[in-house]
Structure 1
Amino acid sequence: MVNRFHDTAHRQMRDGILDAAAAEAVARGWKGLQMQSVAAASGVSRQTLYNTFTNKHGLAQALVLRLTEQFLDGVEQALNSHVEIYDQWVAAIRYTLDAAAADPLLKAVLTADGSDELLPLLTSEAGPVIRAARNRLSAVLRATRPDLNHDDITVATEAAARLAISHIVLPLHPTEQAAEQIAQLVDRFLAPDTRDSSPKAS
């Protein structure tokens, strides 16, 4: 019982720190974020802040991973709102790209002000983000589509996550077109017998 209360208190403290850090990053840019200001805004000591996240980079990693989980909540809902693979992934990728374009914290990640420290967390150091997306979305597909091969689902969800992140960082096409392209790839890999019936991206 004591451990459960301790875990809950620690989680609440951690969430409070991340809320304060997100607000600071949006208001001041990542370079303008000060650890002391985050500690003060979240009501913890600076030492507690460092004990929890080690350093500013550790705080950045935690922020990006929490943002990823928040996006994945919406992606999961999008997947569950359809039955056919193609429709599932058009909805999921469309949600991801639209939500990313509107999110103020992600904008701080992608701007020049935050690119030195934050952008690598979505590019060269994106492993934790990709694994989180792959594991979460694989579980959804395995539950909704038990007819599909589990190993194939893992491959497809990881590839889709990588492509979605690529479109977020470097958007070359309109959202709808990007969503259709990624959905076609997933659909053709997981259900090759349906490739002739899937709508074609323009």
Structure 2
Amino acid sequence: MPAARDLLLDAAFTALGTRPWSGVRMVDVAAAAGVSRQTLYNEFGSKDGLARALVRREAESFLAGVDRSLAEAAERRPEDPGACLAALAEWTLRAARTNPLVRAALTGCRGDRLPAQAAPAVPAPRTAAAPGPRSAPSPGALLERMCAGVVAVVGGAERDAERVRTACEAAVRMTLSYVVAPGPSDAEAGERVAGVARELLGG
């Protein structure tokens, strides 16, 4: 059975699908998770703490998908770095379209429906049950993490490290532009990103 923390995060995510974050009540989240309101406060400290944990979880899940898509593409077509960038682009666009918290984390644009991404002015005391709050990655940090993942997969001794880094960053930034202004399809966007990466990498 999932831990109380996971149940609470699932309940908060579900609630966010039907109402804005300002309308999500802690008592309702606790009830939906089947735990007491005190357990909810023990885990997250406050509604802001719950929001940070929820956004962080979705961002971390997105990054796990980034790693998975890159690894799968590299295994299928190890000779074609562009295929890795296409897979990354398609995963990113699909995740951003289906998960508003991922889209917000990637773009920094939250709107009124989503929880704000703000660290507390004074860190809460850390306890075993409720570790101190950590903010979710910023858009810039997510970009850096995505770039590092791509470089690790497509780089190699036979390629110039700086050229690989530049090509990967350009491809990731192009991918993020499709998050903001979608193309006709994820697959077409992926192929365009792959084409740019192949040109920059020289093959």
TM-score, normalised relative to structure 1: 0.63
AA paired with 2:153?
V
1:137 equivalent among 131, 150, 167: 150
Q: Which residue of 2 aligns with 1:22?
A: 13
Q: Is the 8 A contact 1:53 1:59 kept in 2?
A: no
Rounded to whole Å, the distance in 2 between the matches of 1:62 and 1:78 is 26
Q: What number of residue pairs does the alignment pair up?
A: 173
Q: Which runs of 5+ in 1 are unaligned?
A: 1-10, 119-124, 195-202
Identity of aligned residues (%): 22
Cα drift, residue 40 of structure 1: 4.2
Cα drift, residue 62 of structure 1: 0.9
Q: Is the 8 A contact 1:81 1:88 kept in 2?
A: no
How do residues 9-48 of structure 1 correspond to structure 2 at under 5 angstroms? 12=3, 14-42=5-33, 43=35, 45-48=39-42
Rounded to whole Å, the distance in 1 between the matches of 2:7 and 2:158 is 42
Rounded to whole Å, the distance in 2 between the matches of 1:23 and 1:134 is 31
**Structure 2 CA distance for partners of 1:56 and 1:155, relative to 1, 3 Å:** farther
Q: Is the 8 A contact 1:79 1:91 kept in 2?
A: no
Residue 163 in structure 1 maps to residue 162 in structure 2 = no
How do residues 1-202 of structure 1 correspond to structure 2 at under 5 angstroms? 12=3, 14-42=5-33, 43=35, 45-51=39-45, 55=49, 57-76=51-70, 77-83=72-78, 84-101=80-97, 103-105=98-100, 114=113, 117=116, 125-142=138-155, 145-190=156-201, 192=202, 194=203
Rounded to whole Å, the distance in 2 between the matches of 1:56 and 1:80 is 38
**Structure 2 CA distance for partners of 1:41 and 1:152, relative to 1, 3 Å:** farther
Cα drift, residue 126 of structure 1: 0.9
**Structure 2 CA distance for partners of 1:171 and 1:53, relative to 1, 3 Å:** same
Cα drift, residue 172 of structure 1: 4.0
Q: Deviations over 1:146-191 (max 9, x none)?
A: 433344433333333332222123214433332222112222222x
Specify the SS of the correspondent of 1:28. Answer: coil
Q: Which sits farther off after the overlay, 160-169 or 43-52? A: 43-52
Q: Deviations over 1:83-120 (max 9, x none)?
A: 2122332233234324543x2555985886536847xx
Q: Deviations over 1:5-64 (max 9, x none)?
A: xxxxxx955444432322222233434333443344443623224349853552353144
**Greater RCO (CA < 8 Å, at least 6 residues apart):** 2
**Structure 2 CA distance for partners of 1:20 and 1:180, relative to 1, 3 Å:** same
The structure richer in helix per residue is 1
AA paired with 2:15?
E
Rounded to whole Å, the distance in 2 between the matches of 1:153 and 1:175 is 24
**Structure 2 CA distance for partners of 1:112 and 1:54, relative to 1, 3 Å:** closer
Q: Which runs of 5+ in 2 are unaligned?
A: 118-137
Q: Is the 8 A contact 1:25 1:108 kept in 2?
A: no
